[in-house]
Amino acid sequence: MEFTVHHTCNKEGGEDKVLENYPFLSEYDPKKNMKPFLGQGYYFWDFNLEYAKVWGKNHYSNKYYVCESDIDVDHEKDGFFLDLAGNRKHLVGFIELLREFDFIHKEGTEGIDLCYIIDYLRTKCPPEVFPFEVIRAVDYKNNEKIGIKVVFNNTQNSYTILNPRIIFSFKSKENIVHLTKPSIAFKS
């Protein structure tokens, strides 16, 4: 499955150095209160240059590059790609997996941030518990007013969002298959 992705990073080192080392690892940084959304990993925006710029402005003091490349994610290999953005079967499977924690305590994983849950499944449990190398999820913001919401018709209050922010997280760099040479799509 092919995707065009964007990755925001610091300008440090210049274009050549950045493209050579692209993408960069997102890690926990307690001093800056940085907690990668889906745990430690290599992050991309799913075709979202505009939001990649917003991220750069807010997180890199407006000194950033947005890199772009086409990648291929193996969606047929069982247990490799967890698509929480576009696959209901994956969502249901993931929720059922988390419900296993209810055997320990009735609260289960309630109240625990997703980043900690994913890291826990990856690092504290046997490898077969969470084999997924790639995770895709929608990034919603609480109480967000901006966005393109379109109602389906005038009979109900149902709507869809035409510009969801979708993120990819790769556990390791080796699993990122670039179909095109990465390039700088934007520099601040």
Q: Are 38 and 118 in contact (CB under 8 A)?
A: yes
**Pairing verdict, β 2-10 and 64-72:** antiparallel
User: Which x/- pattern over 68-87 shows residues binding another protein (rule: CB under 8 A)?
Assistant: ----------xx--------
Residue from 16, 31, 144, 181 in contact with another protein (CB under 8 A): 31
The three-point CA angle 96-97-98 to 5° equals: 90
Among residues 118, 168, 170, 167, the alpha carbon closest in space to that of 139 is found at 167
Shortest Å distance, C-beta 165 to another protein: 21
Contact call for residue 60 and another protein (CB under 8 A): no
Stretch that binds another protein, among 66-74, 92-100, 157-165, 169-177 (CB under 8 A): 92-100
Residue from 16, 76, 128, 174 in contact with another protein (CB under 8 A): 128
CA distance 58 to 96: 36
Among residues 44, 61, 67, the alpha carbon closest in space to that of 165 is found at 44
Contacting residues toward another protein, per CB under 8 A:
30-31, 33, 78-79, 89-90, 93-94, 96-97, 100-101, 103-105, 107-113, 116-117, 120-121, 124-126, 128-132
